[in-house]
Copies of this chain bind each other. A is one copy, B any other.
Amino acid sequence: MASMIIHVDANDPRPIYRQVADEIRALIASGALRTGDALPPVRQVAADLGVNLNTIATAYRELQDEGLITVRHGARALVASRTTSTARGTKESESRELRRSLRTVLTKLVLAGLPRSQIMSQVSEELRELTKGSR
């Protein structure tokens, strides 16, 4: 998938590099990007989005640190195999952080006044969206 459309939103409070990383993560999770697929070059993404090159490099580095992609000097970045990435760890600390993030967002949804049932269906809907590609 050469094009790989990514969007960034200036009104989104997340830092740009994280918006980019989050979008690529979602593409991998959904199966739109599969093991062995090449990611577009940092320079191209930066040019497309009109942002600094370092910003995209930071996003790729974050994905690499998570084991989701492999970056080889001079070559295109590739989506890593799932076994590779999950074998690599899901270390306790990561899992603890994910749990914390989950709790934080659920707390806010509760405080926003949403009933449990509605929260559950939002979650279910998002999961369907996320995994609607192949798997």
A residues lining the B interface (CB < 8 Å):
10-16, 22, 25-26, 28-29, 65-66, 68, 70, 72-73, 82, 84-95, 97-113, 116, 119-120, 122-124, 126-127, 129-131
**How far, in whole Å, are A113 and B88 apart by their CA atoms in the complex?**
12
Q: Chain B: which residue is nearest A91 at the CB level?
A: B89
**How far, in whole Å, are A95 and B113 apart by their CA atoms in the complex?**
11
29 pairs, A vs B, C-beta closer than 8 Å: A10-B70, A11-B70, A11-B84, A12-B100, A15-B72, A22-B107, A26-B103, A28-B111, A29-B110, A65-B65, A68-B111, A87-B93, A90-B112, A90-B113, A98-B105, A98-B108, A99-B122, A101-B108, A103-B129, A103-B130, A105-B105, A106-B126, A106-B130, A107-B130, A110-B127, A116-B127, A119-B123, A119-B127, A120-B127
Q: Chain B: which residue is nearest A15 at the CB level?
A: B73
**How far, in whole Å, are A102 and B69 apart by their CA atoms in the complex?**
23
